[in-house]
Amino acid sequence: MRTFGFLSPYVHQRSTRNGAAARRKLFLALLFFFCAALFVPPGWSAKADPIRIVAFGDSLTAGLGLAPQDAFPSKLAIALRANGYDVSIANAGVSGDTTTAALARLDWSVPAGTQAVILEFGANDAFRGVIPSIVSQNLDEIILRLKARNVEVLLAGMYAPRNLGKDYYTAFDAVYPALAKKYGLLFVPFFLKDVAGIAALNQPDGVHPTAEGVDVVVKTMLPSTEELIQRVRSRKAS
């Protein structure tokens, strides 16, 4: 800094004072942040991570015949966010999957870090006439393996077509509530409630919901999914 000679002592004194003041401010700032860090509650962060959910299912989850944004996982995520929930929902639906196929791909379809799963399978088993006890065994193993990983499960029930006969559909329909009771799961008795059999809510195949049909499915599944999120939160807080 260039100064006139008679001002040099003053400038030097002022610079020294300014430097000391700056160092004091820096020291106090560092002390404040250090002390604040000591009192941060465990697990706190400036922005909590979203609840990580996987929608694990068949074509009804995948959204066969629909744009990606109209599939069940996408629309459910939108509905949850509108209700104030910070969530991430991965679409792990594969068209044509049976419970046997689901069990075979479980580990890579539900990655590490997943906190909750919406489990939706069985329609393809019923269409193929798979023995209900096999459906039960497969779903039971899936649930066991998810619970071993501390993943919360919401079980979406399915009904068998009535043209398969009373003995079959009675045994098939009973699989889901029995598993829900056995493991204390959140449970929706019928994933396609108020959609199945309604032409205006289904695509021409009469099986897969339209975008409007998915809206009804979301309405059915939303309350239980909110409970699922509360279970995840309770587990994190404990």
Q: What is the pLDDT of residues 59-75, one digit of tens each?
A: 999 999 999 999 999 99
Angle value at C-alpha 99, between 98 and 105, nearest 5 degrees: 95
Confidence of residue 231 (pLDDT cuts 50, 70, 90): very high
Asked if 132 and 98 touch (Cβ cutoff 8 Å), the reply is no
**Can you give the C-alpha Rg of the chain in angstroms?**
28
Q: What gap in Å lies between CA 219 and CA 126, rounded to an integer?
A: 24
Q: Using DSSP bridges, classify how beta strands 152-156 and 51-57 pair: parallel, antiparallel or unpaired.
A: unpaired
Q: Report how far apart the first and last C-alpha atoms of the chain are (Å, whole number).
A: 61
Report pLDDT for 235.
Answer: 86
Q: Write down the pLDDT at residue 18.
A: 56
Structure confidence at residue 237 as a pLDDT band (50, 70, 90): confident
Confidence of residue 38 (pLDDT cuts 50, 70, 90): very low
* DSSP line for 117-167: EEEE--HHHHHTT--HHHHHHHHHHHHHHHHHTT-EEEEEP----GGG-HH
Provide the 10 A C-beta neighbour count for residue 39: 6
The residue that leads in pLDDT, 191 or 24, is 191
Percent of the chain with pLDDT over 70: 80
CATH H-level, domain 51-237: superfamily: SGNH hydrolase (3.40.50.1110)
The label of the residue with tokens 């993943």 reads: 151
SS3 65: coil
User: For residue range 100-125, what is the model confidence (pLDDT) as tens digits?
Assistant: 999 999 999 999 999 999 999 999 99
Residue showing tokens 């009904």 = 159
Q: By percentage, how much of the chain surpasses pLDDT 90?
A: 78
